[in-house]
Amino acid sequence: MNEVLAYAERHGLQAEVYWATRSPLSTRYQGGQPTAVIDNRVDQCTVRVVREGKLGVACGTRPTQQLAEWAAQAAAEGADAPFGFAEETCGQAEAADPPERPHAEALLQLGDTIRGYILERRRDLALVVDIACHDEHVRVATTEGFCGQERESYVSLTVGAPFAQSGTGLWKSAVHPDVALDAASLAEEFLEWYAWGDRVVTPPSGRLPVLLAPEAAFLLGYPLGAALAGDALWQRTSPLESRLGERVLCENLTVSDAPLDPSDPLGRTFDDEGTLCRSRALVERGVLRGYLLDRRTGALLGQGSTGNGFKRGMFGGGPWAVPTPWPARLTIHEGTEPWRALLERLDQGLLVCGGMGFHSSNYLQGNFSIQAMGYYVEDGRVTGRLTGTMLAGNIYGDFVGVEVSQERKRLSQFVAPYMLIPELQVAGRR
């Protein structure tokens, strides 16, 4: 990295180096047996250069002078750069040292345990178990004086199986700082929910109450994240533009960006541009409190970055992607009532744990329309798995009187509770 910065300084350039080393270790079980153990290492590097007010970018595997030269050449024909790179900061939050990376034997032992636990009770399942240790070392340095590095390391466990004679299945996941996660609880949850799907039900059409499981919290989190992003604000396409201090969601909903929780292995102390992250409320009891800005959109809006410039977004990203505004760790706050008590309130409604087709919705305006994946509920009890059921709504118009569970689940995309929506539009049987 010093080689790139030294070249830039010799030639009067501003430069930023982002270098990520990923060392994933993973295994998959199919048909009750491990099919592969993959131990990998990938280096990816992006150099951004500002030359006479123009931005140039070059990508490679490691930071070299040649990358700096290519970025400088690209800047000759680049777009205007209204922003500067991160400067030296004081009082930077210290990233906690992650646990030691587990060996493959530890992943296989975990896989054998959960596979045996589930298949002992349901031998008919075409069970899939995915276990991965995610290990990423991120380094950012700039000619303006910022130099930071941290390592993100956690273990993810996913269990799933297709439903017989169906194009869908059930998947349950958990993330944990190390392999000592509660696999038995995840297996019990999976077995209960899979058994609910042995019967197939098409619910009636109309407006019905819907209990969103944490896995379905993307119906709120993704549209909200898109509307809070600096790009939508600058383009004036966001429904939340100029609405700070106004009520925009139900008063029972508080949504934060919480990247500094020391117990969360997916936290960050600085974003992918070297701006320090901070924990803050985005929506507090329904009232809009903050936006998501990276260095570019912060400069365009005259507000500066909020530490939300990440090489990821709603539908992907990666070390070679351009930084865009996105939450560091989107967190929906919990309520006071157990989720099963919320379920028991449904005389006739849905328990939704996922959906297909969200990407084609007008989510920027808060709309969603999906083929719902989940279950039909009558008299507070799950009666069967959904089929041929569409679910539609708007987070600003329909998320009224929402009730939130006291349980929350930590997932790779966000941290979320169960949310009971009084009414959403359901298209089932006629």
Closest CA to 395 of 365, 425, 420, 361: 365
Domain membership of residue 364 as a residue range: 199-260+329-430
Average pLDDT value for residue range 311-329:
88
| pLDDT confidence tier of residue 98, bands split at 50, 70 and 90 | low
Euclidean distance between CA atoms 72 and 7, whole angstroms = 10
146 CB contacts (<8 Å, ≥6 apart)?
85, 86, 87, 88, 89, 140, 274
Euclidean distance between CA atoms 135 and 141, whole angstroms = 20
Average pLDDT value for residue range 353-362:
92
Average pLDDT value for residue range 111-120:
94
Residue 99 confidence (pLDDT) above 80: no
The pLDDT of residue 62 is 94
The pLDDT of residue 270 is 96
Contact (CB, 8 A) for 345 and 379: no
- CA torsion angle 107 44 311 259 (round to 10): 50
Answer yes or no: do 211 and 184 share one domain: no
Answer yes or no: do 17 and 153 share one domain: yes
Euclidean distance between CA atoms 278 and 242, whole angstroms = 22
pLDDT one-digit tens code per residue, 399-416: 999 999 999 999 999 999
The pLDDT of residue 239 is 98
pLDDT greater at residue 326 or residue 167: 326
Closest CA to 223 of 361, 419, 318, 332: 361
Furthest-apart CA atoms within the chain: distance in Å: 73
Q: Which of 164-173, 378-387, 415-424 has the lowest mean pLDDT?
A: 164-173
Answer yes or no: do 188 and 207 share one domain: no
Answer yes or no: do 223 and 160 share one domain: no
Average pLDDT value for residue range 306-311:
96
Answer yes or no: do 170 and 65 share one domain: yes
The pLDDT of residue 31 is 81
Closest CA to 176 of 264, 89, 67, 98: 264
Answer yes or no: do 252 and 206 share one domain: yes
The pLDDT of residue 315 is 80
Euclidean distance between CA atoms 401 and 423, whole angstroms = 9
pTM of the model: 0.94
Question: What are phi and psi for residue 414, nearest 5 degrees?
Answer: -165, 175
Average pLDDT value for residue range 111-132:
95
3-state SS record for the chain: CHHHHHHHHHCCCEEEEEEEEECCEEEEEECCEEEEEEECCEEEEEEEEEECCEEEEEEECCCCHHHHHHHHHHHCCCEECCCCCCECCCCCCCCCCCCCCCCHHHHHHHHHHHHHHHHCCCCCCCCEEEEEEEEEEEEEEECCECEEEEEEEEEEEEEEEECCCCCCEEEEEEEECCCCCCHHHHHHHHHHHHHHCCCEECCECEEEEEEECHHHCHHHHHHHHHHHEHHHHHHCCCCCCCCCCCECCCCCCCEEECCCCCCCCCCCCECCCCCECCCEEEEECCEECCCECCHHHHHHCCCCCCCCEECEECCEECCCCCCEECCCCEEECCCCECHHHHHHCCCEEEEEEEEECHHHCCHHHCEEEEEEEEEEEECCEEEEEECCCEEEEECCCCCCCCEEEEEEEECCCCEEEEEEEEEEEEECEC
Contact (CB, 8 A) for 171 and 195: no
The pLDDT of residue 211 is 98
Answer yes or no: do 7 and 79 share one domain: yes
Euclidean distance between CA atoms 402 and 211, whole angstroms = 10
Residue 197 confidence (pLDDT) above 90: yes
Q: Number of folded domains in the chain?
A: 2
Q: Which residue, of 192, 223, 241, is where some domain finishes?
A: 192
Count other C-beta atoms under 10 Å from residue 73's C-beta.
14
| pLDDT confidence tier of residue 28, bands split at 50, 70 and 90 | very high
Query: Is 299 a domain residue?
Result: no
What average pLDDT does the chain have? 94
Answer yes or no: do 155 and 212 share one domain: no
pLDDT one-digit tens code per residue, 224-281: 999 999 999 999 999 999 999 999 999 999 999 999 998 899 999 999 999 999 999 9
Q: Which residue, of 137, 171, 192, is where some domain finishes?
A: 192
pLDDT greater at residue 354 or residue 94: 354
Answer yes or no: do 246 and 391 share one domain: yes
Residue 96 confidence (pLDDT) above 70: no
Q: Could you tell me if residue 165 is left (phi over 0), alpha (psi between -120 and 50 degrees) or otherwise beta?
A: left
| pLDDT confidence tier of residue 93, bands split at 50, 70 and 90 | very low
Q: Which residue, of 192, 223, 249, is where some domain finishes?
A: 192
| pLDDT confidence tier of residue 395, bands split at 50, 70 and 90 | very high
Answer yes or no: do 127 and 147 share one domain: yes
Euclidean distance between CA atoms 88 and 98, whole angstroms = 25
Euclidean distance between CA atoms 336 and 332, whole angstroms = 13
The pLDDT of residue 318 is 83
Euclidean distance between CA atoms 329 and 307, whole angstroms = 11
Query: Is 373 a domain residue?
Result: yes
The pLDDT of residue 91 is 47
pLDDT greater at residue 429 or residue 306: 306
